[in-house]
Amino acid sequence: MVGPRLRKIAMTHAQNYTILLAEDDRSARDATAMVLEAEGYHVVTAGNGTSALNMLMHDSTIDLLVSDIHMPGGIDGIELALRARRHRSIQVMLISADPRNSFTCFPENTTFLAKPYDRRALLGAVGGLLGITSA
């Protein structure tokens, strides 16, 4: 069991990070953002890849990109990850209900999180990418 002091330390570290969440499904986007914000992360959201890419190009405070793979609008999650990394060095986690091995052009050094995921899996993956010990 994690004591209140360790939980407070984890939240303090989480508060130092900004996550861009790109997800076209509003309910999934809202639920995921709520979990991340409850843990102390600052979360900005985009409903499609084009909006997310624009945010990444203009906001240098974003530390982590979490994106659904299947999104409308011309830029899916894989293309978003590739374009984002051409612009700057950033950690990326892609999420999908499809298995990881179904994507032939999955970007290197990218974390995959299968849908549906629970709070523990999401926070563990995010914390691992950002170097935060999970509470």
The continuous run of DSSP H or E covering 66 comes out as strand 64-68
Give every CB contact of residue 95 below 8 A, 6+ residues apart in sequence: 23, 66, 67, 68, 69, 77, 112, 113, 114, 115, 117
Express each pLDDT in 23-64 by its tens digit.
999 999 999 999 999 999 999 999 999 999 999 999 999 999
What is the pTM (predicted TM-score) of this model?
0.88
Express each pLDDT in 111-131 by its tens digit.
999 999 999 999 999 999 998
**Residue 64 contacts residue 126 (beta carbons within 8 Å):** yes
Output the pLDDT for position 73: 81
Express each pLDDT in 88-110 by its tens digit.
999 999 999 999 998 988 999 99
**Band of the pLDDT at 133, cuts 50, 70, 90?**
low
Output the pLDDT for position 88: 92
Domains and CATH numbers, the chain: 4-130 (3.40.50.2300)
